[in-house]
Structure 1
């Protein structure tokens, strides 16, 4: 299946260096991390093996750690399986929101990770839980491709999809709120229409996936968080986010293991500003993976110094 997430926008082609600077630019809108004096001195390891018996729960980011698109990393499959055989508690904490929860579980099983539904927390699932607990009034526009099954959302919704037309602009203006599940097929015309509508009448904007970019093999794609922050800057709306690094994602992990202290949980991710910052903000220990993720090819010590976000451990792969 062809991936249609945007790889450029208004002349921007995302690179790891560009993405890092963008995260730094929006830092005030991210959770607070540890104060500088409390930042750990990162320990460099070859992989996760030396830590296998030091933590009771391992939480893995997906893209850049376990897989890139539909390509699973062989070493990740082996490590995941080895930890399962040891009896470790494992979770995948993903900002993916295009696929429904059952389809995302199915995907990870298909590419080699033998997980059960309760071993996956996705930003899509977190949004759906919020919608179920707190009903949203009126009619909401949902930005998502048809294949993403937006009908699973417990809200009165209508689709918002390209191409841009005058009719689409009128519909945007009438919605009581907007939800963005996916940036697939999103383009300059659609973003301009969204921003024009929100400037005219500010309304709630809920974003399942806060990522600015996602690693998909040989490129980075622009994700919903990028477009949400553009809307914030141009329209003054304050998006509501559900995935990493924000509290709902990490709180959901802690709620699944109420008897386990956060410091006995290791968050493993490829992004300082989402995985590591979010894990730190809830008291978890953290591990940064560098081989294929969003910091691929970057000078990691420089990134840590510039951001002030230091993981407990650094490894090329898990």
Structure 2
């Protein structure tokens, strides 16, 4: 496999009128030249359909003044489409070979926009700052194996991100967008809703990827709340209640929160003070109700 210090394959500049976006042949040619084989370990499934890229950008409502952060750009399918529309794109890529090659792909296919592109070669879960102006949008085909942690980390770390559109495994999309009372409502649903209004924004078939995944994908839209839920509790305190409630989701909150509160009696007291039935279960509570419980945490 090509290392970051090896000479990178140079693409032939595009002829006038040629589409800058990558098609199936372009993706496979790039992968072959770089010695890249997509790995399940890093959740790599590259988008090979330009129409899907355009659909994602339309659905994300990417605007000419946006500073977009993209996590897991891979070979650059979505990156190029974003650069055609947004003012600036910052791509975060962990893979050594892909990170080394992406600037050359941008330069070859969109030379007039290359100055509006920046690459951060890092693990997205460890990124705490980005070059240039603060990001206003997050648009990404997230690696399936770390999709939720990466999404929550980016929303926490970069409060200027107003709009997010991510492509994730369909099952994960359902969980992120689930409402209280749903069978798939859980930790991702509540935590995502702390930051944003969340909804499903479409389905993506398997044949637009290379290699084709064994599962369908879904788009999730998140629009940042103007204010987080009104509460005296800190985010970390609210999330601790959420984690405890769903660690034993079949149990009543009185039982599930006993470890968090120190005892079942203390959990019941906190629930009653918050106006929530001790016999309720976590899957029925809104993020505001979890915040109310956190406000009445027993002194430890």
On whether the aligned pair clears a TM of 0.5, the verdict is: no
TM-score range, shorter chain: 0.3 to 0.5
Taking structure 2 as the reference length, what is the TM-score of the superposition?
Answer: 0.32
Report the structure number with the largest CA radius of gyration: 2
Taking structure 1 as the reference length, what is the TM-score of the superposition?
Answer: 0.31
